[in-house]
Amino acid sequence: MLWIIPALLVSYLIGSIPTAYIFAKVLKGIDIRKTGSGNVGATNAARILGKKTAIVILSLDILKGLLPVIFLGDLISPQVGLNQEVLRIMLGFSSIAGHNWTIFLGFRGGKGIATTLGVLLGLTVRLAGLKIVLIWVIITWVIAFIPFRIVSLASVISGLSLPVYSVLFKQSKIIFISSIVITVFIILRHKSNLQRLFQGKENRLF
């Protein structure tokens, strides 16, 4: 516990860095929460700040999930007795929670898709057998995005596919349970998007 609690806190704080908010403030002097969709993420940033800036924001948000899982996991794993899957998943969830409910913006953050992708990438690097699941989740996102160009729809569909692929490719019980938790996170964070989708009012990316 002496090592785990500080590591989870650091992971949460890394995830909490409001990348899109900072870029919008620095580059245009605006509060991204009051512009466009109001979301503190790369999709809203793409509409407001442009594609190139959005790609930078997306990359940084991915790193917020990737770095804690890999480097914090490597740092404290010799000090704790937890299973590697459990330890790195805990760090990943902490980072996602930071992005979704950032302490720096009154616990109101983004949707968490990019940071979740970073967590999955980190787990893939350190845990054998997860690569095929991530590949198919990404393929599912692309297939869902291309016809409609709606990021939220593609994100929800790929999120729903995660537990399915975890079963199909015979992942461990902890990976399967974690995939369900991630899916619930994604659906809850996209509740307003789903409402707009059903009303036919959800915006396309471009």
Task: Convert the pLDDT of each residue in 57-101 to its tens digit.
Answer: 999 999 999 999 999 999 998 888 778 899 999 999 999 999 999
pLDDT in tens, 162-193: 999 999 999 999 999 999 999 999 999 999 99
pLDDT in tens, 32-47: 999 988 999 999 999 9
Instruction: Please check the confidence at residue 54 and state whether its pLDDT lies above 80.
Output: yes
Decide: pTM greater than 0.85.
yes
Instruction: Please check the confidence at residue 1 and state whether its pLDDT lies above 70.
Output: no
Q: Are 69 and 87 in contact (CB under 8 A)?
A: no
Instruction: Please check the confidence at residue 205 and state whether its pLDDT lies above 90.
Output: no
Q: What is the mean predicted confidence (pLDDT) over 125-144?
A: 94
Written as one letter, the residue type at 202 is E
Q: What is the mean predicted confidence (pLDDT) over 108-115?
A: 94
**What mean pLDDT, rounded, does the chain reach?**
94
Q: Are 87 and 143 in contact (CB under 8 A)?
A: no
